[in-house]
Every structure is written in structure tokens, then in C-alpha cells.
Amino acid sequence: METCRAKITYIYHSGFAVKTGNYLLIFDYYGGAGNKELRQENFRLISREIKDANNVAVFVSHSHSDHFDNDIFKFEQLAHNTLYIFSSDVKISNKKNNYYFVSPNEELKIENLHVKTFGSTDEGVSYMVIADNINVFHAGDLNWWYWYYESTPEELVEYERDYKAVIQDIESETRDKNIKIDIAFFPVDSRLKDYYHFGGEYFISKLKPEYFIPMHFGYDYNITEEFFLKFKDIFTDTKILTINSRGQSFVIK
């Protein structure tokens, strides 16, 4: 029988829970805006994951409201051992011993959890997290934000340059340390229209993750299927997953 290396649960937007042997990693939890029923349902989803976990690590990539939700502070009531890793742009007045703050290009080791941060093309950081020999990358708002229909030619050049510079940093890290990204969460955002795939396509071509999981699409689940169909026969060494509902889980063997 194959061993389960990790279980991934999609919560909402860019929010995921990743269960490894000893950890539950929660990335960019977001309950939703202005919809009480949605927020309650999303909190029930994440609560089920937390209650089964011994060690919980909560990651916040930046301060935007769709990536940083105050409900995460309730997680401590559900698990005995909970720690929080925030991007340094997140402002919190009541800091605790289990709160850690990071900027781009920093490393953090907490017991058996290894965290490496990289830059973003928006606010905050992107995360590479190694737990139980599983290497998880969460992009936060790192993307090739190619806003073609509302940008000048100079801005489009800048978007490309900034994005590829961060990817080069990640590529250098994986090469120098001889590590591979097992699971990558990355924006596939239909608001970019014809150019929604630029960031993900380039990411896979350079970093070749074992699994690529779209995020930052709101309710537009169809865009994950569109991305899969576009690249499944091109990037045959990467398993591109599709998402069709909140609470959907994937087992990584």
C-alpha cells in the first residue's frame, strides 16, 4: 500500500490546509467577505482539519483582506500547539510568543518546520515550507500580473521583469540546495483574461513542481479546468490539479 505523504484541503480563494505526518499547514485562510453563511461554512471546513492536528502552523502571505482573516486567531482555541507566521506588512498589536514575522528572503526554523521566504509582485512574501520531507510552495500574491488591457507598455515590461526576478531567486534556492517543490499553490486568475496563464506557465516551466494547484480564482472554478487542459500535455512531469468546490481534498502519495 502506498503511503500518504500529505492531504490537501481547499478552503476558499487562496486558502488551503496541508496535512503532513506531524503538521497541519494552513495558508492564507480567508472566510469570505460580507457573507455570514459563507464565512461560517468555511470556518467549519477549517475547524474539522484543525481538530485532528497535533501541530498547526498558520501562514499569512500579506495583509490584503483576501489573504489575512482575523478568524485565524480562533485557531488557537482548537489546537494545543499553534504557531503563526506573518509577513512583516501584517500589523498586529497584541503579539505573542507563538507569532513570527518574516520579510522576503529570510529563513526560519521552528522545531522540525523549515520556512524560506521569497518576494512577491504585490505585497508581502511567498513561502516555501518543508515539513516531514514535503516541500510546499505558496505564492501568496506572487504572479505575473500581466494587466494588458489597463497598462502601458512600460508597465507590462516591469511586471514581467519583477516576476521573473523572484522566480530566478526560487530557482537558485532549489538548485543550490538540490531540492524540488512537491506541492505548489499558485494564482490562476481569470481577471487577467487572455493572459491568466502567464505566471503559472512560467512557474511550471522553470521550477517543475510535482503538483501544481491553482488558487486566487474566487468562484471561477472553470479557470482551473481551462489551465489544466491547456498544459496537461505540455508539462507531463507536473500533475496539474483542478478544483471544483470548497472543502475538496487531494491525497498526495
Spell out a b/e string for 162-188, using b for 16 or more CB atoms within 10 Å of the CB, else e.
Answer: bbeebbeebeebbeeeeeebbbbbbbb
The average pLDDT across 141-165 equals 97
pLDDT at 3 > cutoff 80: no
The grid coordinates of residue 241 equal: 490539479
Strand partners, 215: 187
Q: Quickly state the pLDDT bin for 161 (edges 50, 70, 90).
A: very high
Taking alpha carbons only, the member of 159, 222, 191, 203 closest to residue 243 is 222
The confidence score (pLDDT) of residue 35 equals 86
> Which helix (H) or strand (E) is 100 found in, with range?
strand 99-102
The confidence score (pLDDT) of residue 235 equals 98
At 244, the amino acid letter reads N
Contacts of 93 (CB under 8 A, 6+ apart): none
The confidence score (pLDDT) of residue 103 equals 98
Give DSSP secondary structure letters for 191-252.
GGGGGTTHHHHHHHHHH--SEEEEE--TT-THHHHHHHHHHTTT-TTSEE----STT-EEEE
The average pLDDT across 96-123 equals 97
Q: Quickly state the pLDDT bin for 2 (edges 50, 70, 90).
A: low
**CATH fold label, 6-252:** Metallo-beta-lactamase; Chain A (3.60.15)
Contacts of 196 (CB under 8 A, 6+ apart): 188, 189, 190, 223, 227
Cα(253)–Cα(250) distance, rounded to whole angstroms? 10
Give DSSP secondary structure letters for 123-146.
SS-EEEEEETTEEEEE-TT-S---
The average pLDDT across 124-149 equals 98
Which bin fits 50, alpha (ψ -120 to 50), beta or left (φ > 0)? alpha
The confidence score (pLDDT) of residue 80 equals 84
The residue that leads in pLDDT, 43 or 52, is 43
The average pLDDT across 38-51 equals 95
Strand partners, 126: 118
pTM of the model: 0.97
Cα(169)–Cα(150) distance, rounded to whole angstroms? 28
Region of poorest pLDDT, from 90-94, 213-217, 231-235 = 90-94
The domain segmentation of the chain, as residue ranges, is: 6-252
The confidence score (pLDDT) of residue 1 equals 40
The grid coordinates of residue 77 equal: 482555541
pLDDT, mean over the chain: 96
Q: Quickly state the pLDDT bin for 37 (edges 50, 70, 90).
A: very high
